[in-house]
Amino acid sequence: MARILTGIQSSGKPHLGNLLGAILPAIALSKEQHNDSFFFIADLHSLTTIKDPGLRKENINSVAAAWIACGFDTKKNTFYRQSKVPEVCELAWILNCFTPFPMLANAHSFKDKSDKLSNVNAGLFVYPVLMAADILLYDADIVPVGKDQKQHLEMTRDLGITFNKKFGDTFVIPDPQINSQMEIIPGIDGKKMSKSYGNTIDIFQSDKKLRKNIMSIQTDSLALEAPKNPSTCNVFKLYELLGSQKEIQTLRKSYLGGNYGYGHAKQELFELIVKIFAKERSTYNELISHPESLEKMLNEGEKKASKIARYVLSRVKSKVGF
Ligand code: TYM
């Protein structure tokens, strides 16, 4: 049996990058009979950037609804809000006191965020330590994530290994699982899809908005008649991640043949997304209009998560002499 653990920040509605990079691969792992999965909403992490309480609540429901709409079975597994198991903050503090300052100062995500944000708070700096605590607190074996989280996983492993060397076996050392085809999902401008770049595709919005979203994918300005290169086109790159081999080959032929515009390709991508995510989109919308059902699932999961968190934290505290 392997323990699978992963989290999504409640900093917005989950987008196609979150789905393909983390949510769907994690759910596939959770369906394997012998796996025991801990999937959560990283609402404490979202406080580093989101300060509006109403918006945070809305985002928490969105992330929770996305997990369930994509097929997460909360009876077999453990589903929770990070903030409802406060042991994670105690463990994060202990780990902070064993984290070398340069490790955090050199973190890519910190450098990236601190270059862009006007308000750089201390939470952003120690973000990776809270993430390490998320993982180490539950004895996770495997952490399915997108490639942007690779360095955070390396830090988690470093912190766990260093602690184990000093105090004897305490933490389970996790392995990241990064799906090679879904490492970095591109956004509508071809850069990594990210809430902070404003280039996301939100599959859970209405058909009309989703179509508009897809129509805004950036392309070159070749004329309709001109043959087009599929391998440099943002629309094709996304289609390739979602379509069947047959569908991909058909679209490739249309690109190479000419007399086929980017507008046509975007329409095909829109129709494909609507087709493959039909069930997820309708379940998501149902759940969002009945958040009480999400609350009930989360409450049950939080009881299960708390038990394990208390057990692992007491193991750590006894090692450091508390
Ligand atoms: P977050 O909320 O930014 O993203 C959630 C997950 O989605 C993946 N992802 C992507 N994958 C491929 N292509 C993309 N364009 C893309 N954008 C996002 C991310 O890699 C991630 O797996 N720090 C984490 C949340 C977190 C966490 C944890 C994850 C907190 N504690 C413990 C795992 C374990 C984050 O900000 O993810």
Q: Please tell me the distance from the alpha carbon of residue 197 to that of residue 110, in angstroms, as a whole number.
A: 15
Question: Which protein residue has the closest C-alpha to ligand 1 atom 37?
Answer: 8
Q: Please tell me the distance from the alpha carbon of residue 277 to that of residue 144, in angstroms, as a whole number.
A: 21
Q: Rounded to the nearest 10 degrees, what angle do helices 150-167 and 291-320 cross at?
A: 40
- Whether 266 is catalytic: no
Compute φ and ψ for 176, nearest 5 degrees. Answer: -75, 155
pLDDT greater than 80 at residue 117? no
Q: Which of 13, 84, 192, 228 is catalytic?
A: 192
Asked whether 23 lines ligand 1 (CB < 6 A), one says no
User: Minimal CA–CA distance to 288: which of 21, 113, 60, 2?
Assistant: 60
pLDDT for residue 111: 87
23 CA from centroid of ligand 1 (Å)? 9
Rounded to two decimals, what is the model's pTM?
0.96
Contact partners, residue 253, CB within 8 Å, separation at least 6: none
Which residue out of 138, 148, 200 has the highest number of ligand 1 atoms within 8 Å of its CB and is therefore the one to mutate?
148
**Residue 113 — very low, low, confident or very high, per pLDDT cuts 50/70/90?**
confident
For 193, the enclosing helix (H) or strand (E) is none
Question: Which protein residue has the closest C-alpha to ligand 1 atom 3?
Answer: 9
Q: Please tell me the distance from the alpha carbon of residue 312 to that of residue 275, in angstroms, as a whole number.
A: 44
Q: Which two tokens stand for residue 204?
A: 């859970």
Q: Per residue in 276-290, is it b (16+ CB within 10 Å) or e — as a string? A: ebeebbebbeebbee
Q: Which two tokens stand for residue 222?
A: 């070749």
pLDDT for residue 109: 87
pLDDT for residue 177: 97
* Range with lowest mean pLDDT among 108-122, 148-162, 208-222: 108-122
- Whether 111 is catalytic: no
Closest ligand 1 atom, residue 193 Cα:
15
pLDDT greater than 90 at residue 59? yes
User: Minimal CA–CA distance to 64: which of 83, 51, 49, 48?
Assistant: 83
**Cα within 13 Å of Cα(221), Cβ side:** 0
Q: Which alpha helices (H) appear in the chain, and where do they start and end?
A: 16-18, 24-30, 43-46, 53-69, 87-96, 101-105, 108-116, 122-125, 127-136, 150-167, 207-215, 234-242, 245-257, 262-276, 278-289, 291-320
pLDDT for residue 179: 92
Asked whether 130 lines ligand 1 (CB < 6 A), one says no
Per-domain boundaries in the chain: 2-185+291-320, 204-276
Which residue out of 15, 16, 18, 91 has the highest number of ligand 1 atoms within 8 Å of its CB and is therefore the one to mutate?
18
pLDDT tens figures, 262-274: 999 999 999 999 9
**Residue 114 — very low, low, confident or very high, per pLDDT cuts 50/70/90?**
confident
Asked whether 12 lines ligand 1 (CB < 6 A), one says no
9 CA from centroid of ligand 1 (Å)? 7
- Whether 195 is catalytic: yes
Q: Which of 76, 84, 111, 195 is catalytic?
A: 195
**Residue 118 — very low, low, confident or very high, per pLDDT cuts 50/70/90?**
confident
Choose the CATH number for 204-276 among 3.40.50.2300, 1.10.287.3510, 1.10.240.10, 3.30.70.270.
1.10.240.10
pLDDT for residue 116: 78
**Residue 115 — very low, low, confident or very high, per pLDDT cuts 50/70/90?**
confident
CATH match of 2-185+291-320 with 3.90.120.10? no
pLDDT for residue 196: 86
pLDDT for residue 6: 98
- Residue 130 burial (CB < 10 Å; 0-12/13-18/19+)? buried
pLDDT tens figures, 267-317: 999 999 999 999 999 999 999 999 999 999 999 999 999 999 999 999 999
Q: Which residues pair with 243 in a beta bridge?
A: none
Identify whether the C-beta of residue 128 lies closer than 8 Å to the C-beta of residue 108: no
Mean pLDDT for 6-20 is 97
pLDDT for residue 100: 97
pLDDT greater than 80 at residue 158? yes
DSSP 40-103: EEEHHHHTTT---HHHHHHHHHHHHHHHHHTT--TTTSEEEEGGG-THHHHHHHHHHTTS-HHH
Residue 75: how many other CB atoms lie within 10 Å: 8
